[in-house]
Chains A and B, each alone.
Chain A
């Protein structure tokens, strides 16, 4: 069975880009548009790995991660943070929110897939 990845990003471009890249790498991709949508999709699709943006409306990436980690059902899922912000405190904050790892945008397919494979159960 294909490994399933949930991507959470408010930008349509990024969602399509991620979908394209990850699908080419042989993953099944589910997309969500913000943190709240992400929680919903996480419940529905039980992904193996989650990739999330930080800056999003409704529920941002930090809050999303914190919420995921609170739920016993799926709090073990690895979550990678996609960020254009390379500032260390952002990474720090993502980590303390419960992120598993991060990918700095822009990613190239190899970098992204490698990061995903690093945490893929």
Chain B
């Protein structure tokens, strides 16, 4: 793994932390502060700062640092949360995210000092804290990591010929020192890197073996050391055991000739009488063991352990089994990260498998095996397995829409800042899961629609108050599953659509004829017509050269639809319906005028064969069928798609009652139903071009290509009325 890879990890992790941060802050805002959430939020910023420091991203470090301090105020006292502070924190999230992006793309990050100042003021990060900040930041001095030039020869030069200063160090560890994983030997080892040492161990306090308490500390050491370093350097060696030992460091010689003499003697004695040191060792040959057992240093502790594994099987075995038991109890939920390409490949292969399976089914049918034949039964089993694999693979890609929804709150804040409006985001069903490809495709259109909802929908605070509404508008974003699709709704409590103006504009732009008679719904949907934009002037916010037609196109390219319904004065509701997956669907295979067509099974409510008395004619040439206690318009699919003549004989057709989303039901009439099977969705857009009323194409078991109908589109565009059709063709 290279440094670049780790950087990549860092930015991926930043994205996770940012979403955690944003989610957490929203939770705090809506549900009040809760220490776990506050901790999680703090940790997120803390982690970002930590990583940023390691890579020397100074701008990021310094802003994250202030942010962290602000959060620390809340962490220390939850009652410090108030609305203004939360607003500020949320704004800081946006800026933090920008700074991360700037660091990632190596561009100049925006100046964050103003916001940092504001954080400091609002969170009262007062003077004394600032001092600490400085210190902390000093610790954060940009240490750029050069991972290649890794140099371990750190102390070699330090150990060269010492020139002169001699120190006497007495070191008496407390028992607690040993309990923290320290070993006196290591301090000497470290001191030895700074100069030459002679070490004496004082064993005077060591009791007889009988009286020895393993947890006590009995030994003291005296170290005489000749070094170039000063006493601070020596003290630094012991900085981790401050309070865990009695330590004195005094410099010998130099100052007083008197003391110097004595010390020099001592020094010489120590130097010359190295054997004495050895003597201590050998003298204690017997008690030495006791000593090392007494000093509960890791080295000593490790030794009996090693022995124990041989002689003390029982214990060791017990320990192991205990460990094992615990292991089974505690299994943290594990996740793995997989590149989405790998999953895509799996999904493509699964699609091929479905096609292959359909071919196999076809061959088995052609071979004349009966339904109860072993081959047919094995096929059923295969089909079940394929289905299970498919749902498993799909589950890998299913993600909750929450991250995308959370992103929208930022959009709202931005638009509010730019327009001076006030709006808040309300979420519902944000845990609804959908295929990631759908989610990715959703971001842009959703962003645009949210911008629109605030920019064009929500009124100014004054205007709202004048109408008796709360000054802060609400945009509600909700998601739910409905008949095999995911529905996403954007509802605002703004002014709704000004139909007069929309119609005027549409006529002016030549989108509809001057004398066209349109229903309210049709007028509302005109905003999706290409070339339509209601904003008088292109605003900074929503007018970025793309209109709602682009939004609709991108949703349609995902196999979805978008609809608007508006209640003037009270707001608008945009509703998008999207497939849960873009890979496979359960299809109903039908024949009409020699063509094979596929309908999503999820859309089909009921099938029936018509009897002569069932069909009624209404108005010009509109036929309806009475089913399900309702009159449902009959849709002549072949004619509407333009490949068949107008059907005259309605009595012989097969009717399929189809759910058409917001447009109610439609009764599709076709020649016959062939069966039901899983089909792989092959996009028409990417292989050919968009065709209205057709959702996609597929390959059948016999190798033939069939078109998958966009039922909602067909239902909503069914009409015998030529004028309405004209409008629809313009709008769609």
B517 smallest CB distance to A (angstroms): 62
CA distance A101 to B80 in the complex (A): 34
Q: How many residues of A contact B (CB 8 A)?
A: 53
B519 smallest CB distance to A (angstroms): 55
Chain B contacts with A in 292-344, Cβ cutoff 8 A: 296-299, 301-302, 319, 323, 326-327, 330, 332
* Extra contacts besides A11-B13, A109-B147 (17): CB < 8 Å: A13-B51, A20-B6, A25-B152, A43-B323, A55-B46, A58-B332, A76-B296, A76-B297, A76-B302, A77-B298, A84-B140, A86-B135, A98-B180, A106-B143, A107-B143, A108-B145, A110-B152
Complex contact B9–A12 (CB within 8 A): yes
Of chain A, the residue at the smallest CB distance from B42 is A55
A102 smallest CB distance to B (angstroms): 7
B128 beta carbon closer than 8 Å to chain A: no
Complex contact B143–A108 (CB within 8 A): yes
Complex contact B243–A95 (CB within 8 A): yes
B596 beta carbon closer than 8 Å to chain A: no
Residue interface bits B31-74, CB-to-A below 8 A is 1, else 0: 00000000110110011011101100000000000000000000
Interface stretch of the complex, out of B83-91, B115-123, B181-189, B216-224: B181-189
Complex contact A12–B13 (CB within 8 A): yes
B1 beta carbon closer than 8 Å to chain A: yes
CA distance A78 to B140 in the complex (A): 25
Complex contact B179–A69 (CB within 8 A): yes
B151 beta carbon closer than 8 Å to chain A: yes
B688 beta carbon closer than 8 Å to chain A: no
Task: Please name all residues of chain B whose beta carbon is closer than 8 Å to the beta carbon of A100 when the two chains form the complex.
Answer: 180-182, 240
Task: Please name all residues of chain B whose beta carbon is closer than 8 Å to the beta carbon of A105 when the two chains form the complex.
Answer: 50, 53-54
A16-B298 CB under 8 A given contacts A24-B150, A36-B330: no
B139 beta carbon closer than 8 Å to chain A: yes
CA distance A113 to B154 in the complex (A): 10
Complex contact B47–A76 (CB within 8 A): no
Of chain A, the residue at the smallest CB distance from B5 is A16
Task: Please name all residues of chain A whose beta carbon is closer than 8 Å to the beta carbon of B50 when the two chains form the complex.
Answer: 11, 13-14, 84, 105-106
B135, B186, B330: which contacts A119 (Cβ < 8 A)? B186
Residue interface bits A55-91, CB-to-B below 8 A is 1, else 0: 1111000000000010001011111000011110000
Of chain B, the residue at the smallest CB distance from A68 is B181
Complex contact B186–A84 (CB within 8 A): no
B139 smallest CB distance to A (angstroms): 5
A6 beta carbon closer than 8 Å to chain B: no
Nearest first, the 3 A-B pairs at minimum CB distance are A106-B53, A78-B181, A101-B240
Q: How many residues of B contact A (CB 8 A)?
A: 56
B480 beta carbon closer than 8 Å to chain A: no
Task: Please name all residues of chain B whose beta carbon is closer than 8 Å to the beta carbon of A99 when the two chains form the complex.
Answer: 180
Residue interface bits B254-270, CB-to-A below 8 A is 1, else 0: 00000000000000000
Complex contact B179–A75 (CB within 8 A): yes
A86 smallest CB distance to B (angstroms): 5
Complex contact A16–B1 (CB within 8 A): yes
Complex contact B179–A98 (CB within 8 A): yes
Residue interface bits A9-26, CB-to-B below 8 A is 1, else 0: 011111011011100110
Complex contact B135–A13 (CB within 8 A): no
B530 smallest CB distance to A (angstroms): 46
Q: Which residues of A contact B (CB under 8 A)?
A: 10-14, 16-17, 19-21, 24-25, 33, 36-37, 40, 43-44, 55-58, 69, 73, 75-79, 84-87, 95, 98-102, 104-111, 113-114, 118-121
Complex contact A98–B327 (CB within 8 A): no
Complex contact B301–A76 (CB within 8 A): yes
CA distance A58 to B333 in the complex (A): 12
CA distance A70 to B508 in the complex (A): 81
Q: Which residues of B contact A (CB under 8 A)?
A: 1, 3, 5-6, 9-10, 12-13, 39-40, 42-43, 46-47, 49-51, 53-54, 132, 135-136, 139-140, 143, 145-147, 150-152, 154, 178-183, 186, 190, 240, 242-244, 296-299, 301-302, 319, 323, 326-327, 330, 332
Complex contact A106–B140 (CB within 8 A): yes
Can you give 5 A-B contacts (C-beta < 8 A)?
A24-B147, A40-B327, A44-B323, A84-B136, A102-B240
Task: Please name all residues of chain B whose beta carbon is closer than 8 Å to the beta carbon of A104 when the two chains form the complex.
Answer: 139
CA distance A16 to B186 in the complex (A): 28
CA distance A14 to B9 in the complex (A): 10
CA distance A106 to B301 in the complex (A): 33
A42 smallest CB distance to B (angstroms): 10
Complex contact B182–A16 (CB within 8 A): no
Task: Please name all residues of chain B whose beta carbon is closer than 8 Å to the beta carbon of A106 when the two chains form the complex.
Answer: 50, 53-54, 140, 143, 145
Complex contact A14–B47 (CB within 8 A): yes
Complex contact B46–A86 (CB within 8 A): no
CA distance A13 to B223 in the complex (A): 42
A121-B183 CB under 8 A given contacts A37-B332, A78-B298: yes
CA distance A13 to B301 in the complex (A): 34
Of chain A, the residue at the smallest CB distance from B40 is A57
Task: Please name all residues of chain A whose beta carbon is closer than 8 Å to the beta carbon of B297 when the two chains form the complex.
Answer: 76
B151, B299, B319, B330: which contacts A40 (Cβ < 8 A)? B330
Complex contact B180–A13 (CB within 8 A): no
CA distance A12 to B13 in the complex (A): 7
Complex contact B47–A109 (CB within 8 A): no
Task: Please name all residues of chain A whose beta carbon is closer than 8 Å to the beta carbon of B319 when the two chains form the complex.
Answer: 73
Complex contact B190–A118 (CB within 8 A): yes
Task: Please name all residues of chain B whose beta carbon is closer than 8 Å to the beta carbon of A79 when the two chains form the complex.
Answer: 180-181
